Amino acid sequence: MIAQHLVIRGRVQGVGYRYAMTEVAETLGVTGWVRNRRDGTVEALFAGDDRKVEEMIGLCAAGPTRAKVTEVQRFAAVPPDEPGFRQLPTE
């Protein structure tokens, strides 16, 4: 099991990015969260099976159809305490 904290830059707000990530994370059984940030980025935390977390990170780099991702920063993280995957309010 691994956990990764991501900051995604580009045209990632107002394009269904969080909804797409939530749907895929729930399908894969990845835990964590995703949220918009006031600086225009999207921030996420993924935890779970190494292969599934890596798949999520790859999907973050591609983004949904209307997104244009320019950068994905990733950092090692501590898995969340809460089960499931959720969208958090903008921070």
Catalytic residue ranges: 18, 36
Please check whether residue 62 is in contact with residue 11, taking contact to mean a CB–CB distance below 8 angstroms: no
What are the backbone dihedrals phi and psi of residue 85, each rounded to the nearest 5 degrees, phi first? -130, 135
Residues 6+ apart with CB under 8 A from 59: 20, 21, 24
Q: Are 31 and 87 in contact (CB under 8 A)?
A: no
